Amino acid sequence: MSVVKLLLVDDEARFVETLSKRLAARGFDVEGALSGPQALERLRERPCDVVLLDIWMPGMDGLEVLKEIRRRHPSVRVVLVSGNASITAAVEGIRLGATDYLLKPVDIEDVLAKVEEAVEKKRLEEEATDRSG
Amino acid sequence: MKDIRASNLWRSDGPPDVRRAVWASVAPPLMFVVLIAMLTAGAATSSRGQMATVLVVACAASVAAAAWVSVRLVRHLRAVVRQRDAFYQEFARLSKLASLGEAACSIAHDLNNPLAIMNEEAGWLQDLLNSTDTDAEVTRREFAASVEQVQIQIGRCREITRRMLTWTRDPEEPSGQVDINTLLMKTLYLVETELVATGVRVVKQLEPGLPLLKGSAAELRQVLLHLMKNALDAMKGTGGTMTITTARAGGSIRATIADTGPGIPPEVLARIFEPFFTTKGEEHGTGLGLTISTWILQRTGGRIDVESTPGLGSAFHVTLPAAVPVDGPAHNGGTP
Contact predicate B6/B32, CB 8 Å: no
Please write the tens of the pLDDT for every residue from B189-245. 888 878 887 889 999 999 998 988 888 888 888 899 989 999 998 998 788 999 999
- Alpha-carbon distance of B217 to A39, in angstroms, equals 45
Q: What is the pLDDT of residue B328?
A: 45
Q: What is the pLDDT of residue A59?
A: 66
In terms of domains, do B273 and B184 share one?
yes
Q: Does residue B328 sit within a domain?
A: no
- Inter-chain Cβ pairs, chain A and chain B, closer than 8 A: 58
Q: Does residue B327 sit within a domain?
A: no
Listed residues B74, B91, B108: the one ending a domain: B91
**Cα B213 to Cα B123, B224, B251, distances in angstroms:** 52, 14, 11
What's the structural domain count of chain B?
3
In terms of domains, do B86 and B196 share one?
no
Instruction: Decide which of B264 and A2 is more confident.
Output: B264
In terms of domains, do B279 and B206 share one?
yes
- Count other C-beta atoms under 10 Å from residue A9's C-beta: 27
Region of poorest pLDDT, from B82-86, B96-100, B186-190 = B96-100
In terms of domains, do B180 and B281 share one?
yes
**Chain B residues within an 8 Å CB radius of A105:** 112, 115-116, 118-120
In terms of domains, do B281 and B208 share one?
yes
Amino acid identity of B96?
Answer: K
Q: What is the pLDDT of residue B334?
A: 42
Q: What is the pLDDT of residue B324?
A: 75
What is the mean pLDDT of the segment spanning A15-32?
Answer: 96
Give the closest of A18, A21, A58 to B117, CB-based: A18
Give the closest of A12, A58, A86 to B105, CB-based: A86
Q: Does residue B331 sit within a domain?
A: no
In terms of domains, do B106 and B134 share one?
yes
Contact predicate B171/B186, CB 8 Å: yes
Instruction: Decide which of B120 and B70 is more confident.
Output: B120
Percent pLDDT > 70 in chain B is 83
Res. B26: pLDDT tops 50: yes
B114: CATH: 1.10.287
**Residue A27 contacts B where some CB pair is shorter than 8 Å:** no
What is the mean pLDDT of the segment spanning B126-138?
Answer: 87
Helices (H), B191-288: 192-198, 217-234, 266-269
Q: What is the pLDDT of residue A116?
A: 94
User: pTM for the complete prediction?
Assistant: 0.62
Q: What is the pLDDT of residue B330?
A: 46
Q: What is the pLDDT of residue B173?
A: 55
- Count other C-beta atoms under 10 Å from residue A119's C-beta: 19
Instruction: Decide which of A129 and B167 is more confident.
Output: A129
In terms of domains, do B75 and B18 share one?
yes
User: Which of B35-44, B191-200, B299-308 tops mean pLDDT?
Assistant: B299-308
- Strand pairing partners for B242? B202
**Residue A133 contacts B where some CB pair is shorter than 8 Å:** no
Is A22 close to B120, i.e. CB distance below 8 A? yes
In terms of domains, do B13 and B119 share one?
no
**Chain A residues within an 8 Å CB radius of B123:** 18, 22, 108
Q: What is the pLDDT of residue B4?
A: 38
Q: What is the pLDDT of residue B245?
A: 95
What is the mean pLDDT of the segment spanning B24-51?
Answer: 72
- Alpha-carbon distance of B95 to B245, in angstroms, equals 25
Amino acid identity of B237?
Answer: G
Q: What ipTM did this prediction achieve?
A: 0.89
Is B116 close to A59, i.e. CB distance below 8 A? no
In terms of domains, do B241 and B309 share one?
yes
Half-sphere exposure for B2 (CA within 13 Å, toward CB): 21
Contact predicate B290/B226, CB 8 Å: yes
Q: What confidence tier does B169 reach under pLDDT thresholds 50, 70, 90? A: low
Give the closest of A12, A19, A85 to B108, CB-based: A85
In terms of domains, do B212 and B127 share one?
no
- Count other C-beta atoms under 10 Å from residue A63's C-beta: 20
What's the structural domain count of chain A?
1
Tell me phi and psi for residue B242, to 5 degrees.
-105, 120
Q: What is the pLDDT of residue A55?
A: 87
Helices (H), chain B: 6-11, 18-43, 48-130, 136-168, 180-190, 192-198, 217-234, 266-269, 289-299
Instruction: Decide which of B86 and B95 is more confident.
Output: B86
Amino acid identity of B336?
Answer: P
| Burial zone of A84 (CB within 10 Å; 0-12 exposed, 13-18 middle, 19+ buried) | buried
Instruction: Decide which of A133 and B55 is more confident.
Output: B55
Q: What confidence tier does A49 reach under pLDDT thresholds 50, 70, 90? A: very high
Q: What is the pLDDT of residue B266?
A: 87
B189-221: b (≥16 Cβ within 10 Å) or e: bbbebbbbbbebeeeeebbeebbbbbbbbebbb
A27: CATH: 3.40.50.2300
CA B65 to chain centre: 43
Q: What is the pLDDT of residue A20?
A: 96
B218: CATH: 3.30.565.10
Instruction: Decide which of B218 and A31 is more confident.
Output: A31
Listed residues B166, B190, B215: the one ending a domain: B166
Domain of residue A11, residue span: 5-132
Q: Searching chain A, which residue's CA lies closest to the CA of residue B193?
A: A58
Please write the tens of the pLDDT for every residue from B264-284. 888 888 888 887 777 777 666
**Chain A residues within an 8 Å CB radius of B129:** none
Q: Does residue B84 sit within a domain?
A: yes
Write down how long chain A is: 133
- pLDDT, averaged across chain B: 80
Chain B interface residues (partner A, CB cutoff 8 A): 105-106, 108-109, 112-113, 115-121, 123-124, 127, 131, 146, 149, 196-197, 199
Amino acid identity of B227?
Answer: L
In terms of domains, do B196 and B313 share one?
yes
Tell whether omega for the bond before A105 is within 30 degrees of 0, i.e. cis. yes
Region of poorest pLDDT, from A62-71, B24-33, B250-259 = B24-33
Domain of residue B123, residue span: 96-166
In terms of domains, do B127 and B72 share one?
no
Q: Does residue B336 sit within a domain?
A: no
Listed residues B131, B166, B201: the one ending a domain: B166
